[in-house]
Structure 1
Amino acid sequence: MSHRYFCGYNPPPPNFKTFFLPKYEDRLKRLPNFGKMREEWEIQKRPLLIMLHLFADNFGALEKWMDLAYRLAGPDSIGPEMDFYVDDLWACYIFNEDDFSFHRGDEGTSVDSSPLIYGVTSLGEVHFFGGFDGPTIPSLETLGDFCRRVIKGDLEEPTTCGSTITEIDLADWNEMIYSVDEDIAVCFYNSQQNGTTVNDSLMQNLERLDSHLKQESVRLYKLDLRGGSAPKKFSVETVPALFFLPRLQKTNPIKCKYELGQWSMLRFVAENASKELNYYNRRGHRRLHAELLAHMKEFFHTNIDKA
C-alpha cells in the first residue's frame, strides 16, 4: 500500500462508507462525526472500546478482528456494559479536527498488523491495549479482561522509565556516564548565563524534551561548565551544546547541529538512539499509536472539564 498523507480533509478509502457489514450493526458502531461523538459520550458516560485499523479497503484481512469485537459485544457478554466502536483510522479525525496528521501505511503497518485498541472509562480515562512500543495482539480472553477492567475503572497508566534531567559534574562524570547501560543525552551550559533568554529558553526546552522521553530508555543529563571545560572528545566551542552518547559507543559523542528547541532536540535524540524510540520514529514524529492516544486523551479530558 502506498505511503500517503491521510487525514480527515483528504478523501477516505474508496469503500469507507460501505465496508461495515450490516451483520455487525446490532452490536458494533462506527465512529460518528465530531459533534455527535461529543454529545453521545457527554450524555451517556458509558465505557467504550474503540478498535481501529488502517485497511477498510481490504476488509477480508480485518474480518477476524470485527468478529472478535462482535463476540465480546454480545448481550450475554460485555455488550450491556459498554459500547463497541470499530472503524477505519480515517474516521479518527473526529478526535481532533484541527490537528490530524496520521500517515496511512506508515512505519511498517500492514494488513497483518494488530488493530489499535483503546478503552475509555466512564470517567473519560483513555487506556491503550498494548505497551509503549505498540499494540498487543488481542484474543477473546485478553481483550475481554481489558474490557472488564475498563468498565471497573481499575486500569492504571503503564509505568514509565521516568526520565528526569539529572545535574552532574566532572567529579562524578565517569560513574554517571559509564555505569549506565542506556543511551545518554548531555547538555553543557554555563550557569553564569542564568536569567538570560538563552538559558531560560534552554531550561524550558530541556524540560519539554524530558516530558517527551518518559517512555524511552534515554538518560538526560546537564553539566554546568562555569569555570571549567568539557571532558575530552567533546568539541564545545560555545554553550549551550547538546551531545548524544549511544549506549555502546559512549566514547564517540555525537554533537547536535540543530538549534536547541524542544522538537529539534527530540529529532536529534530520535535520529541517534541505539534503537528506535517507542513513541517517536527516526524523524522525531510521534508514532501512530502514541499520537492517537494523545488526541483521544485530550478529547475525553475536554469533555470531563465541560461536564
Structure 2
Amino acid sequence: MSRYYCGYNPPPPNFKDFLPEKYKDRLQRLPNFGQMRKSWETHKRPTLVMLHVFADDFGALEKWVELAYRLAAPEALGGKMDFYVDDMWQSYIFNEDDFSFFRDDDGYNVESLPLVYGVGAAGEVFFFGDFAGPKLPDLEGLRDFCEQVIQGNVKQATTKDPKVEVINLANWNELVYASEGDIAICFYDSRQNGSEVNESLMINLDRLGDRLKQESVRLYKMDTHGVSVPKKFNVESTPAFFVLRETQKHTPVRCKYELGTWTMLRFVAENSSEELNYYNRRGHLRLHANLLTHMRDFFDLSQNKRGFLM
C-alpha cells in the first residue's frame, strides 16, 4: 500500500470504480481540478464533500456513503446542495502542485471516521468536527450541519488570540504556575533588538503563535535584559526556547533545534503533554487540518485572481 495519499504513487486498486452505480443518481465523485473549478464558479451551490483515507475496502465505507445518499435525496437536501464522496487519493485536486498527504501520519485505517467538509454558496469551508478531528456522523447531525451550510450560519470553534504574550518576573507565578495547560516560552535579550537575530526571532515567534492559535499551549516571550532568569532554565545565552509541560512546570525542556518557525513548532509538538490538535508529534499538519487549509484555498472566491495553492 502506498505511503502517500495522492501524488505520483499508484491510486487504490478500485480507484476507477470506487463509487457503485446505485449511488450515482445522487452522489458525485470529485472531478479533476479544472472541472471542479469550472463547476464551482458556474453554480456556486452549497456543497458537501465526504472523503475517506481508504477506499480499498468499500464495504467498510458504505455506511458513510449511505448517509450522504439519503441526505442527497430530492425530497431531502438534493435540490439545495451538491454531494461529493470519494477516496482520499482523489483529493489531490485541492493542491495539484504539493502532494503532501501521508497515509500513516494519524494512524488512520478503514474504520476511521470520514472527513466531512461543507462549502457555502460564498465559498466558505467548514469542517464537520472540531480542532481535534472529525465527529461521528449520523443522519440527524449531518443533516443539521448541511442545513447550516446552506443557510450560512455554521458555528465553529473560535481560535485564541495568536499574539505572543509578554511574561516577566512580576507575573511569572500567575502565568506559569497558576495556569493550566502546557507553556512554551522564549527568552531573548532586548539589547539585540535591531539585529538580524532578534528580528528573525520575533517574526518566527509571531508565525508560531499563528500556528498554535487552535492549540491549548500558551506562548510567551521574556526579555532577559536586567533580570535574573529562574535558575532551572539554565539560560547561558539567548535566544533560548523551552516547553513546560502542564504537570512538570518545574522541569523545563530546552529546544535542541535552531529557532525557526517550523523547528520550534516541531519541538512543541514533540514535547506537548498531549498530541496537538493540528499537528502530529513530528510537527506535520494532521490530515483534517491539512485538507481544511487546502480546501479553503481552493474554494475561497476572494482568492480567484491570485490562485489557490498555499
With the shorter chain as reference, the TM-score category is: over 0.9
Secondary structure in structure 1 of the residue aligned to 2:198: helix
- After TM superposition, the structure 1 = structure 2 runs for residues 112-127 of structure 1, keeping only pairs within 5 Å, are 112-127=111-126
User: Which secondary structure does the structure 2 equivalent of 1:56 belong to?
Assistant: coil
Q: Which residue of 1 aligns with 2:29?
A: 30
Q: Give 2:20's aligned residue.
A: 21
Distance in 2 between the 1:159 and 1:74 partners? 33
Structure 2 residue identity aligned to 1:114: L
CA drift of 1:306 comes to 3.9
Alpha-carbon contact 1:3-1:103 (below 8 Å) kept:
no
Q: Which residue does the alignment assign to 2:147?
A: 148
Q: Indicate the residue corresponding to 1:215 in structure 2.
A: 214
Q: Quote how far apart the aligned CAs of 1:6 are.
A: 2.8
Structure 1 contact 193–199 (Cα < 8 Å) conserved: yes
Deviating runs (4+, > 4 A) in structure 1?
Answer: none
1:5 maps to which residue? 4
| AA aligned opposite 1:223 | M
1:56 maps to 2:64: no
CA distance in 2, matches of 1:303, 1:32: 22
Matched residue, 1:262: 261
Task: State the secondary structure of the residue aligned to 2:136.
Answer: coil
Change (3 A) 1:208 1:223: same
For 1:87-127, what per-residue CA distance to the aligned partner results, in whole angstroms no more than 9, with x for missing partners?
00001100011112111243221221110000000100000
Q: CA RMSD in A?
A: 1.4
1:201 aligns with 2:200: yes
Counterpart code for 2:95: N
Q: CA shift at 1:163, angstroms?
A: 4.5
Displacement of 1:3 in angstroms is: 6.9
Residue by residue, what CA displacement relative to the aligned partner does 1:34-85 show, whole Å, maximum 9, x if unpaired?
A: 1110010011100100000122110010111111110000010000000000
Q: In the alignment, residue 26 of structure 2 is paired with which amino acid? A: R
Cα deviation code 1:115-161 (max 9, x no counterpart): 00000001000000001100001111000010001001111342224
Asked if 1 retains the 8 angstrom alpha-carbon contact of 2:188 and 2:238, the reply is yes
Partner of 1:184: 183
Unaligned runs of 5+ in 2: none
Deviations 1:213-265 (A, max 9, x none): 01111011111011223111111111110011001001100000100000000
* Consecutive unaligned residues in structure 1, runs of 5 or more: none
CA distance in 2, matches of 1:306, 1:143: 33
Q: Is the 8 A contact 1:54 1:105 kept in 2?
A: no
| d(CA) in 1 for partners of 2:171, 2:213 | 24
Cα distance in 2 for partners of 1:133, 1:211 equals 17
Moved more, 294-303 or 76-85: 294-303
**Judging changes above 3 Å, is the alpha-carbon distance between structure 1 residues 36 and 3 closer, same or farther for their aligned structure 2 residues?**
closer
Distance 2:150 2:214 in 1: 26
Tell me what 1:168 maps to.
Answer: 167
Alignment size in residue pairs: 306
Classify 1:237/1:304 alpha carbon distance in 2 versus 1 (closer, same or farther; 3 Å): closer
Question: For the residues of structure 1 that align with 2:121 and 2:305, how far apart are their CA atoms?
Answer: 15
User: 1:305 Cα deviation (Å)?
Assistant: 3.5
* Higher mean displacement: 196-205 or 3-12: 3-12
Length-normalised TM-score, structure 1: 0.96
CA deviation string 1:163-206 (max 9, x = no partner): 43111111221222101011001100011111111111000000
1:304 deviation in Å?
5.1
With 295-304 and 242-251 compared, the bigger mean Cα shift is at: 295-304
> Letter of the aligned partner of 2:281 in structure 1?
R
Q: Normalised by the size of structure 2, how large is the TM-score?
A: 0.95
CA 1:205 to 1:276, structure 2 compared with 1: closer, same or farther past 3 Å?
Answer: same
Q: Secondary structure at the match of 2:170?
A: helix
Cα distance between partner residues in 1 of 2:109 and 2:117:
19
Residue 188 of structure 1 aligns to a residue in which SS? strand
- Looking at structure 1, the residues matched to 37 and 162 of structure 2 have their Cα atoms a distance apart, in angstroms, of 34
User: 1:237–1:3: structure 2 CA closer, same or farther, 3 Å change rule?
Assistant: farther
SS at match of 1:97: coil
2:128 maps to 129
